[in-house]
């Protein structure tokens, strides 16, 4: 929410500086997003008068102006604004000035062969409004040569982040109330007098949906003159990021932003018969003020007359009955709408508005009459006219919550002792009524629906008193060595994070929600978990895999010039269980994309990642996770998202898949906007069998062998279709006591190797126990190795 300092000071009597106000707002829990001052960027722009305006000799739509800064030395400026004319006083940007709207630095230049010494500026170019039809026109008596920043004065704009539990601060007046309670100033009274009508309201008002609209107040003002709103009103709306439209519309926006009270003004001439708050009828449509047509449902509440719907109640008015320059009679609507109904309608229509944001948080139900008086007084003052009496249909929920409060609770819950007199002062300044001496009876104001219990009162006292006043007190600790608090799963995640990072990967944290199409692509036929109330339509399905989020992150980085990416993420994937509940599973995913090694004089072309790189990552990380990697089998069927000839799974038996790895299928890569080979790994950490030790991952003590290990090399001829892993596993199992390691160091196919076969060279490491191997022992082990290889179809190569 945005507002200017001058707007705040119109409601709060204070001499505090901008910095003091910003710091206090943050201390109160109203976090400052930014504080900007438009005048800072306007120091090099000057007030100037156009002396002459002549047609450009080389362009029909340009003029050559002679501009006076009051120093007697006119400057020549080329200008294309249609309102540029002799005698106009405007704003001149001199060479060296930077245009706020686009960051362009002005320079002396030739435009179509004519020298120009700057630029006459519009309000949009100076970020002071949306008007770009012509250059700024200032009063005749504006001081020539003065900096435009000094001319308009400094009026900083605060941008405050309002949390959903503080509907009272969705208006500047509520923010001023908080600051006054914190001692920053004195809250000015509203000073609104009741506006008596001159006769009965000529429009009948009805309610047919009392649950959604308990109260509907209205009054007619006839004989208004609609036009531009006053400068002070436009300036405040512009500071809030609103575009001034007309006096009638601006007044309703001003009351909403200033006091948190949404309202609506209808052009009376466009209404037919009674105006009713009723449920929408199936299939009814309305064109809203944003120009879009919406199809309504019966659970939605609308404001309609006998001709049809004119307003999506509490969210946005209709285009048909909106006020225009020709409007002379208006119907003012001030109503109370149920927050739940507003939220449900807004979500169903995917329609956000300032009014919806306030109604669904809960506006002050006691502010209807005051809001009506504010609107009426402003319209009569700005637009003239004659107001009717107010029609009040229904009744807002005015019941106030009364809480029992023990002031000693502040010290027990808040951690700081605040004097009872100070607690009473704070609560009274925030609008609470406090009675009693021992245990207090506190009446909650109607604008604070978030206060439901005594702990909430403690929070109010503490945040105003100052969270920085709460002492930092360590929790008590028992003597001795502290026991570890991390669970085995947390320890596993930490270890894998370190391992993946040590291997050169960068951790990413992506959304747990996905677009439905991306989730379906990685669901593998399993039921998806779809959210009933997603944060957006594009993020409505819980991820069945971590890979889609990582692939999207890879695409964003590649689009921004990254050449080599190694990203990993540890998190949960979400599936729908048979009982309809969410089933969360721990996973780890790695994506390798771009260049594995860059091009160079020694390596030639850049080398991409391959499926073997993915396999190496999978095995290394599984080993860190405690999986029995020596017992894993490499099998196919990684999934339709993978390249069928360059992917596989790692399994403990035919059905227990611990990981899948390989190259992404070209169609999958294309669907995610990726080009070139992409290697991926997905580890299903929930499927790794648990260790039998009490801690889950006990580290055995290190006992180096007393004797030196021996290596022997073997080369076996096997059929092409025999996986190297199967042969390697058979070799390792030939003698589990003596053989401690084995690895493939050569894969040869060519001269001397029969067609359809390959030669796999394996290095075997033998570790003697209590005595060294003699030749007979080595031969016996070699015979076992050759026999084991024979069972896989391997023959010792001569």
Is 159 labelled as part of a ligand binding site?
no
Q: Is the dihedral of CA 176, 182, 185, 188 positive or negative?
A: positive
**Residue-by-residue DSSP string for 101-154:** TT-PBP--EEETTEEE-SEE--TTTTTS-S--SS-----TTS-TT-BHHHHH--
H helix runs in 567-674, sequence order: 611-624, 666-671
**Residue-by-residue DSSP string for 361-427:** T---GGGHHHHHHHHHHHHHHHH--EE-PPEEEE----PPPEEEE-TTHHHHHHSS---HHHHHHHH
Q: Which residues pair with 63 in a beta bridge?
A: 55, 79
User: 180-204: b or e for each residue (b if 16 or more CB lie within 10 Å)?
Assistant: bbbebbebeeeebeebebeeebebe
Tokens of 630: 């020596």
**Residue 476 backbone zone (phi > 0: left; psi -120 to 50: alpha; other: beta):** beta
For residue 753, how many other CB atoms are within 10 A of its CB?
13
Is 459 labelled as part of a ligand binding site?
yes
d(CA 761, CA 773): 23
Q: How far, in Å, are 168, 327, 368, 767 from residue 383 at the CA level?
A: 29, 11, 22, 99
Q: Is-contact 672 666, C-beta < 8 A?
A: no
Please name which of 455, 456, 400 lies closest in space to residue 433, comparing C-alpha atoms: 400
d(CA 367, CA 373): 10
Q: For residue 593, which phi and psi values (nearest 5 degrees)?
A: -145, 160
For residue 302, how many other CB atoms are within 10 A of its CB?
26
**Residue-by-residue DSSP string for 633-646:** EEES---TTEEEEE
Please name which of 642, 483, 512, 649 lies closest in space to residue 575, comparing C-alpha atoms: 512
Q: How far, in Å, are 199, 377, 492 from residue 222 at the CA level?
A: 11, 14, 73
d(CA 380, CA 495): 71
Tokens 């006054």 correspond to 180
Is 460 labelled as part of a ligand binding site?
yes
**Helix 247-259 / helix 231-239 crossing angle, nearest 10 deg:** 50
**Residue-by-residue DSSP string for 461-525:** HHHHH-GGGS---PPP--SSPPPP---HHHHHHHHHHHHHHHTT-EE----SEE-HHHHHHTSTT
Tokens of 768: 């003697």
Please return the burial class of 205, using the count of CB atoms within 10 Å of its CB with bins 0-12, 13-18 and 19+.
Answer: buried
d(CA 322, CA 84): 34
Is 456 labelled as part of a ligand binding site?
yes
DSSP conformation class of 445: P
Residues 6+ apart with CB under 8 A from 604: none
Q: Is-contact 90 121, C-beta < 8 A?
A: yes
CA angle 418, 477, 454 (to 5 degrees): 30
d(CA 623, CA 747): 25
Tokens of 23: 């710091």
CA gyration radius, the chain: 38
Q: For residue 45, which phi and psi values (nearest 5 degrees)?
A: -105, 135
Binding site, annotated residues: 450, 456, 459-460
Annotated binding residues for Mg(2+), written as ranges, equal 450, 456, 459-460
């Amino acid at each position: 929410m945005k507002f200017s300092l001058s707007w705040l000071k119109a409601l709060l009597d204070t001499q505090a500086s901008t910095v003091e106000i910003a710091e206090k707002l943050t201390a109160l829990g109203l976090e400052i997003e930014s504080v900007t001052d438009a005048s800072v960027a306007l120091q090099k722009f000057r007030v100037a008068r156009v002396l002459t305006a002549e047609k450009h000799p080389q362009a029909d739509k340009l003029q050559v102006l002679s501009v006076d800064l009051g120093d007697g030395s006119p400057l020549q400026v080329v200008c294309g604004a249609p309102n540029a004319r002799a005698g106009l006083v405007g704003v001149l940007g001199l060479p060296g000035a930077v245009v706020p709207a686009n960051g362009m630095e002005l320079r002396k230049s030739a435009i179509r062969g004519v020298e120009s010494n700057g630029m006459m500026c519009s309000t949009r170019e100076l970020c002071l409004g949306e008007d770009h039809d012509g250059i700024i026109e200032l009063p005749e008596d504006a001081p020539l040569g003065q900096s435009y920043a000094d001319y308009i004065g400094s009026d900083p704009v605060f941008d405050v982040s309002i949390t959903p539990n503080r509907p009272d601060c969705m208006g500047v007046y509520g923010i001023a109330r908080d600051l006054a309670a914190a001692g920053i100033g004195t809250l000015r009274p509203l000073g609104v007098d009741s506006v008596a009508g001159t006769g009965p309201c000529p429009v009948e008002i009805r309610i047919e949906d009392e649950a959604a609209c308990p109260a509907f107040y209205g009054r007619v003002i006839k004989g208004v003159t609609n036009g531009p709103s006053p400068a002070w009103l436009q300036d405040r709306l512009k500071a809030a990021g609103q575009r001034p439209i007309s006096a009638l519309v601006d007044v309703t926006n001003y009351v909403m932003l200033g006091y948190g009270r949404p309202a609506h003004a209808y052009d009376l001439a466009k209404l037919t018969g009674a105006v009713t708050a009723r449920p929408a009828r199936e299939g009814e449509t309305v064109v809203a003020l944003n120009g879009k047509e919406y199809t309504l449902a019966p659970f939605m509440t609308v404001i309609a007359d006998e001709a049809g719907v004119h307003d999506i109640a509490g969210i946005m008015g209709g285009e048909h009955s909106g006020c225009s320059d020709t409007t002379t009679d208006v119907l003012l609507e001030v109503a109370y709408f149920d927050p739940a109904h507003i939220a449900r309608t807004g979500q169903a229509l995917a329609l956000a508005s300032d009014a919806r944001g306030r109604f669904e948080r809960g506006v002050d139900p006691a502010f209807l009459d005051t809001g009506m008086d504010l609107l009426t007084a402003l319209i009569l003052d700005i637009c003239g006219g004659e107001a009717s009496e107010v029609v009040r249909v229904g009744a807002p929920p005015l019941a106030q919550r009364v809480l029992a409060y023990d002031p000693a609770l502040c010290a027990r819950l808040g951690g700081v002792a605040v004097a009872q007199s100070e607690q009473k002062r704070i609560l009274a300044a925030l609008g609470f009524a406090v009675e009693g001496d021992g245990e207090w009876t506190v009446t909650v104001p109607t604008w604070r629906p978030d206060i439901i219990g005594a702990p909430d009162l403690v929070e109010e006292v503490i945040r105003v008193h100052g969270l920085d006043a709460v002492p930092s007190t360590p929790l008590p600790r028992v003597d001795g060595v502290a026991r570890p608090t991390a669970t085995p799963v947390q320890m596993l995640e930490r270890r894998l994070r370190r391992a993946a990072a040590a291997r050169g990967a960068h951790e990413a944290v992506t959304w747990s929600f996905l677009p439905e199409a991306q989730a379906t692509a990685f669901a593998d036929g399993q039921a998806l978990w779809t959210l009933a109330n997603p944060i957006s339509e594009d993020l409505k399905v819980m991820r069945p895999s971590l890979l889609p989020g990582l692939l999207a992150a890879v695409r964003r980085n590649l689009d921004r010039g990254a050449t080599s990416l190694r990203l990993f993420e540890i998190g949960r994937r979400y599936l729908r269980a048979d009982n309809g509940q969410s089933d969360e599973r721990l996973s780890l995913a790695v994506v390798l994309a771009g260049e594995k090694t860059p091009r160079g004089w020694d390596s030639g072309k850049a080398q991409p990642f391959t499926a073997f790189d993915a396999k190496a990552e999978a095995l290394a990380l599984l080993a860190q996770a405690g999986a029995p990697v020596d017992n894993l089998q490499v099998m196919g069927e990684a999934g339709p998202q993978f390249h069928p000839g360059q992917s596989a799974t790692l399994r403990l038996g035919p059905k227990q898949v611990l990981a899948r790895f390989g190259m992404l299928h070209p169609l999958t890569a294309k669907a995610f906007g990726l080009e070139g080979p992409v290697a991926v790994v997905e580890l299903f950490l929930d499927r790794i069998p648990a260790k039998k030790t009490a801690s889950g991952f006990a580290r055995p003590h290190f006992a180096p062998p007393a004797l030196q290990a021996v290596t022997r090399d073997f080369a076996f001829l096997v059929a092409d279709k025999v996986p190297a892993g199967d042969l390697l596993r058979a070799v390792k199992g030939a003698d589990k006591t003596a053989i401690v390691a084995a690895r493939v160091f050569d894969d040869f196919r060519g001269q001397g190797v029969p067609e359809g076969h390959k030669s796999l060279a394996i290095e075997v490491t033998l570790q003697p126990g209590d005595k060294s191997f003699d030749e007979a022992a080595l031969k016996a082990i070699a015979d076992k190795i050759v026999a084991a290889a024979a069972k896989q179809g391997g023959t010792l190569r001569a």
